[in-house]
Amino acid sequence: MSESAGGNLDHVLTESRLFPPPAEFTDQAVIKSQAQYEALYEAAKNDPEGFWGAEAKEHLHWFEPFTKVLNWNSPNVEWFVGGKTNACYNCVDRHVAAGRGDKAALIWEGEPGDTRTLTFADLQKEVSKFAAGLQSIGVQQGDVVSIYMPMTPELVIAMLGCARIGAVHSVVFAGFSAEAIADRNNDAKAKVVLTANGLYRRGKVLPLKETVDEALAKSPTIEKCVVLQRIEDQETPMVEGRDIWWHDLVADQPEDFPAVPLDSEASLFILYTSGSTGKPKGIRHTTAGYNLWAKRTFEWVFDHRDDDVYWCTADCGWITGHSYLVYGPLAAGATCMMYEGAPNHPAEDRFWDLIEKYKVTILYTAPTAIRAFIKWGDEHVDKHDLSSLRLLGSVGEGINPEAWMWYHEKIGGKRCPIVDTWWQTETGGIMMSPLPGVTATKPGSCTRPLPGVVPVVVDEAGTELDVDQGGMLCIAQPWPGMLRGIWGDEERYVEQYWSKFPDKYLTGDNARRDPDGYYWIMGRIDDVINVSGHRLSTIEVESALVSHPAVAEAAVVGRPDEIKGQGIAAFVTLKSGEPTDELRKELRLHVRKEIGALAQPDEIRFAAAVPKTRSGKIMRRLLRDIAAGKETAGDTSTLEDYAVIAKLRENDES
Ligand code: WT7
């Protein structure tokens, strides 16, 4: 294991380099000075209603004006009460109405190299037809539509089409298994599912429709399935009366189907993410506040200018794709790049090739991708002219200083500021980030809060801690983009985020604030791990393992991984069968089937028993140390059985 592994806190704790924004950048930036930032920050903090009321009036279209900016009755919040708006209108029609219909909204490239550009006017026609099509198959306001699609323009059209009629989308990342889709369909009581007959990944076709068919056998609430023909000449079984081709659905629909005025607090989407228990939770976001938050944070953090070509490499299956490929940049009228496939197909220079070809000016990607690029070698980068780039972003996990430096030097040519953006599915958009024209950056720190974000670092008693003391990161004031609940589970919402400290939002992260007021995220307080920037609950993986007939018990922990940040280590005790490599393989496949490839354990160790405290809790700290190959640190006197540890050490597969 190399020292440069992501998540290595030692580096972050000693990091003191400071990178002020280049003067040329600051000269042209939207926010140019510390004073300007501070004025915004203070205004939003001291007078949230005045500040956000003015922002909402200026930055969203209102069919009917709101009558009250904020109702805050912790943990219940309403923003822009009484107003009617529409997120699809804000992202599309608003620009067409303002005469910007000919500007490119989406520049798309498929993995095989096929390309499409959609202007805002094109997008308006497409979302109109699709929204009307959805309505024609019975989708109504408030109905949940599950989306399991490849990264094609139709995925964006699908999301916006739902928003246009007030249907609530629930995008399920196309790497999840049939089981995972069915769980989400059932939890959300989804009525319709949208999919494609395949997607391209590293030159192969993945048959998405087959996976959806398997899921639909267990999804009783689904009435219709709309299938995009992404792959031509592909045998695609269609179920009579249930399945309908996308092209047939939109064939005779109007190009001017209007956006429906919706309450500010109408649900816009749910997005499932992992919590500290086994069951993923459907994070619920609403229309006006979320859309405003996505737009304004996009404009501030990415210093958006009209001629930018902006590329967010995230998949729409994650919140980053929702907020920074769709709702933020499109509401801002930005031109967005979108790419379907793998970064190393047909070769390891695909990203750099795309940046050169489309003259991308802003790149927003994840540390796990950056670490993979470093591993693949500089020669892939050196082949390309990346001089169009002016700003770089990072998201998903802390960026380790080594990756930061490579990104800065090799991709940014030392001239592009890096914005390390900290946020969560729940926060709707970026919470802490440098402002590229203002903030001197420190590799590994997400620096300072955006206007409207009031972070506090507290101890167990809820007392605010001093500078440089690590503690639980909370947010002390409501912000427009915050989650409104967990779909169908009000209790869990309160319990998860508002029970420890009733007046503060509990992020689940540890952090410290340094003497300059910069924040350093120090990992989770719960059993959530971060694998390639994706959140997974260790308990979720444990449940998947235990559902295999041979497994008696399983304990799962994160371990450092050079590329993924964290990998997954599983300790398994068997009911039956032999602890063989064959069984290891089978268990990995089993987890893949239960959740998806991203949850497959990197390592499985068989053990006689899982070490537990006397009260029966799995000793995760100990297992983490063992998985990381470290000597056992700390007090183990509560260990049920010391022999168990010795046994685990012996059975080290690596
Ligand atoms: C968790 C949220 C942010 C959207 C994508 C992931 C970790 C995220 C950073 C960062 C340090 C980060 C946190 C957070 N995280 N960004 N810049 N620095 N940690 O969203 O799946 O909801 O995960 O990712 O632990 O709580 P998510």
Judge contact between 546 and 578, C-beta under 8 A.
no
Helix ranges restricted to H, 2-74:
9-14, 23-28, 34-46, 48-59
Q: Is the pLDDT of residue 565 over 60?
A: yes
State the average pLDDT for the chain: 94
84 domain-assigned:
no
Q: Is the peptide bond before 417 cis (omega within 30 degrees of 0)?
A: no
pLDDT per position as a tens digit, 89-126: 999 999 999 999 999 999 999 999 999 999 999 999 99
Kindly give the distance from the C-alpha atom of residue 315 to the centroid of ligand 1, in angstroms, as a whole number.
15
Q: Residue 447's closest CA among 431, 463, 462?
A: 431
Q: Indicate whether 326 pLDDT > 60.
A: yes
Q: Is 423 annotated as a binding residue?
A: yes
315 Cβ below 6 A of ligand 1: no
Give yes or no for residue 423 CB within 6 A of ligand 1.
yes
pTM greater than 0.80 (yes/no): yes
DSSP 454-477: -EEEE-TT-PBPPTT--EEEEE-S
How is residue 612 annotated by DSSP?
Answer: B
The verdict on whether residue 421 carries a ligand-binding annotation is yes
Output the pLDDT for position 2: 32
- Closest C-alpha residue for ligand 1 atom 14: 424
> What is the b/e burial string over 83-106, where b = at least 16 CB atoms within 10 angstroms of the residue's CB?
bbbbbbbbbbbbbbeeeebebbbb
CA–centroid distance, residue 523 to ligand 1 (Å) = 9
Which of 422, 445, 534 should be mutated for ligand 1, with most atoms under 8 A from CB? 422
Residue 153 lies in a domain: no
**Binding residue per annotation — 532?**
yes
**Once rounded to an integer, what is the mean pLDDT over residues 238-258?**
98
> Whose CA is closest to 212, among 192, 232, 187, 231?
192
Pairing of strands 104-109, 603-606: unpaired
Q: Does 546 count as an annotated binding residue?
A: yes
Helix (H) / strand (E) containing 404: helix 401-406
Among protein residues, the one whose CA lies closest to atom 8 of ligand 1: 396
Distance from C-alpha of 91 to C-alpha of 123, rounded to nearest angstrom: 10
Look at residue 3 and tell me whether its pLDDT is greater than 50: no
Residue 346, preceding peptide bond in cis (omega within 30° of 0):
yes
Pocket probe for ligand 1: among 397, 482, 497, the residue whose CB has the most ligand atoms within 8 Å is 397
Residue 420 marked ligand-binding? yes
Q: What is the pLDDT of residue 442?
A: 95
User: Is the Cβ atom of 177 under 6 angstroms away from ligand 1?
Assistant: no
pLDDT score, position 539: 92
Residue 187, ligand 1, Cβ within 6 A: no
Q: How many A from CA of 395 to the centre of ligand 1?
A: 7
**Residue whose CB lies within 8 A of the most ligand 1 atoms, among 430, 530, 566, for a mutation test:** 530
Is 522 close to ligand 1, i.e. is its CB under 6 Å away?
A: no
Does residue 545 fall inside a structural domain?
yes
Does a structural domain hold residue 544? Answer: yes
Tokens 């970026």, located at residue: 430
What CATH number did the domain enclosing 582 receive? 3.30.300.30
Q: Which residues of 64-75 are buried (b: 16+ CB within 10 A; e: fewer)?
A: eebeebbeeeeb
The Å distance, Cα 398 to ligand 1 centre, comes to: 8
Q: Looking at the predicted structure, is the pLDDT value of residue 522 above 60? A: yes
pLDDT confidence of residue 8: 45
- Tens-place pLDDT, residues 402-456: 999 999 999 999 999 999 999 999 999 999 999 999 999 999 999 999 999 999 9
Strand pairing partners for 10? none
Question: What is the per-residue pLDDT across 149-169, written as a single tens digit (0 to 9) for each?
Answer: 999 999 999 999 999 999 999
What's the confidence (pLDDT) of residue 610?
86
The backbone region for 500, taken as left when phi is positive above 0, alpha when psi lies in -120 to 50, beta otherwise, is alpha
The answer to whether 329 touches 296, Cβ cutoff 8 Å, is no
In a domain, residue 596? The reply is: yes
- Quick check: 554 and 572 in contact, CB under 8 A? yes
Q: Which atom of ligand 1 is nearest to the CA of 421?
A: 17
* pLDDT for the residue numbered 26: 97
Expressed in angstroms and rounded, the spacing between residue 222 Cα and the centre of ligand 1 is: 32
Dump pLDDT digits (tens) for 139-148. 999 999 999 9
Kindly tell me if the per-residue pLDDT of 639 is higher than 60: no
Mean pLDDT of 373-378: 97
Which mutation among 326, 368, 395 tests ligand 1's pocket best, with the greatest number of atoms within 8 A of CB? Answer: 395
Instruction: Give residue 279's pLDDT band: very low, low, confident or very high (50, 70, 90).
Output: confident
Q: Is 594 within a domain?
A: yes
Q: Dihedral angle at the C-alpha atoms of 55, 59, 65, 68, nearest 10 degrees?
A: -20
In order of 152, 205, 227, the CA distances from 198 in angstroms are: 11, 6, 9
What is the CA(439)–ligand 1 centre distance, in A? 20
Report how far residue 67's alpha carbon sits from residue 111's, in angstroms, rounded to the nearest whole number: 47
Amino acid at 275: G
User: Does residue 7 surpass a pLDDT of 50?
Assistant: no
**Is 625 marked within a binding site?**
no
* Residue 565 included in any domain: yes
Q: Is 397 labelled as part of a ligand binding site?
A: yes
Edge-to-edge strand ranges of the sheet holding 267-273: 243-245, 224-228, 192-196, 144-148, 168-171, 267-273, 281-286, 485-486
With a 6 Å cutoff on the Cβ, whether 275 touches ligand 1 is no
Distance (angstroms) between ligand 1 centre and the Cα of 274 equals: 12
Q: Which residues contact residue 214 at a Cβ distance below 8 angstroms, ignoring those fewer than 6 apart?
A: 178
Closest CA to 322 of 426, 220, 233, 245: 426
pLDDT of residue 76: 94
The protein residue whose alpha carbon is closest to atom 21 in ligand 1 is 535
Ligand 1 pocket, 425 CB below 6 A? yes
Residue 65: inside a domain: no
Is 321 a pocket residue for ligand 1 (Cβ < 6 Å)? no
Total count of domains within the chain: 1
Share of the chain above pLDDT 90, in %: 88
Contact of 180 with 543, CB cutoff 8 Å: no
477 lines ligand 1 (CB under 6 A): no
Q: What is the CA radius of gyration of the chain?
A: 24
Spatial neighbors of 109 by CB under 8 A, at least 6 apart, are 115, 337, 338, 339, 340, 354, 358
Q: C-alpha 616: how far from its chain's center?
A: 34
Interval between CA 396 and ligand 1 midpoint (Å): 4
pLDDT, one tens digit per residue, over 8-17 is: 444 555 667 8
| Spatial separation of the C-alpha atoms in residues 312 and 302, rounded to whole Å | 11
pLDDT at 121: 98
pLDDT at 614: 75
- Give the position, in ligand 1's atom list, of the atom nearest the Cα of 426: 22
**Which residue CA neighbors atom 17 of ligand 1 most closely?**
422
pLDDT higher than 90, residue 213? yes
Domain range for 631: 527-651
pLDDT score at 335:
98
Which residues pair with residue 286 across a beta bridge? 267
How distant, in Å, are the alpha carbons of 39, 120, 366, 457, 505 from that of 474? Answer: 23, 38, 24, 6, 5
Q: What is the end-to-end Cα distance of the chain in Å, rounded?
A: 12
| Bigger pLDDT: 146 vs 642 | 146
ipTM: 0.99
CA angle 608, 614, 616 (to 5 degrees): 65
Distance 400 CA to ligand 1 centre (A): 14
